[in-house]
């Protein structure tokens, strides 16, 4: 099953694959090559989310999508926190190509205030946290509304993480299995 490349013009999104840079919680690149890929079913739902966001004047910015199992192990070995990372022994929805980490931006690319940065491993990152500003709460609800209307499930601890329902029904993919050469 080939993964679908997510990039303009086919997908009108902004791409900022953080794990291909040092701008992530590990402080170093995890991926050797920045790629944004999804399972075909997830890619279809992303197209719906893009249309829903654009209809109300917003754009999606993607921080991560498919994540090879090798990368999941690197993240876990750095920070084995089951509140924010899937244990690679069980497998991550990212490593199945059915999860995406993203935010909402204005059409000119300015990120909306979500109360924390992407990958802030703190209770402030939880969807329902009332300690972030009212503006951030509103923006999180707006993102959640777009994504859930498009058919995505959310993870309660991370305002940025969305995945397909029944994500464990999809196969885990290593870098070699997916042929991505990300690692």
Q: Which long-range contacts (CB under 8 A, 24 or more apart) does 117-124 make?
A: 118/18, 118/63, 118/160, 119/18, 119/24, 119/25, 119/63, 119/84, 119/160, 121/25, 121/79, 121/81, 121/83, 121/84
Catalytic residue among 54, 70, 111, 158, which?
Answer: 158
Shortest CA distance to 4 belongs to which of 45, 42, 30?
A: 42
The contacts of residue 115 (CB under 8 Å, 6+ apart) are 124, 125, 129, 132, 133, 136, 137, 140, 159
In the annotation, is 158 catalytic?
yes
With b meaning 16 or more CB within 10 Å and e meaning fewer, what string describes 39-64? beebbebbbebbebbeeeebbbbbbb
List the catalytic residues: 158
């Amino acid at each position: 099953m080939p993964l679908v490349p997510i990039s303009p013009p086919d997908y009108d999104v902004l791409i900022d694959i953080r794990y291909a840079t040092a701008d992530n919680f590990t402080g170093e690149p995890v991926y050797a090559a920045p790629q944004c890929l999804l399972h075909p079913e997830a890619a279809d739902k992303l197209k719906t989310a893009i249309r829903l966001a654009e209809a109300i004047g917003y754009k999606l910015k993607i921080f991560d999508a498919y994540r090879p199992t090798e990368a999941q192990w690197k993240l876990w070995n750095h920070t084995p926190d089951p509140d924010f990372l899937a244990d690679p022994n069980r497998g991550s929805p990212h490593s199945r190509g059915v999860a995406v980490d993203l935010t909402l931006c204005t059409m000119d690319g300015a990120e909306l205030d979500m109360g924390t940065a992407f990958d802030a491993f703190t209770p402030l990152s939880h969807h329902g946290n009332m300690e972030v500003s009212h503006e951030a709460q509103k923006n999180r609800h707006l993102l959640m509304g777009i994504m859930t209307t498009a058919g995505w499930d959310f993870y309660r601890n991370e305002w940025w993480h969305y995945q397909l329902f029944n994500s464990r029904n999809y196969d885990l993919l290593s870098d070699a299995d997916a042929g991505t050469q990300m690692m």
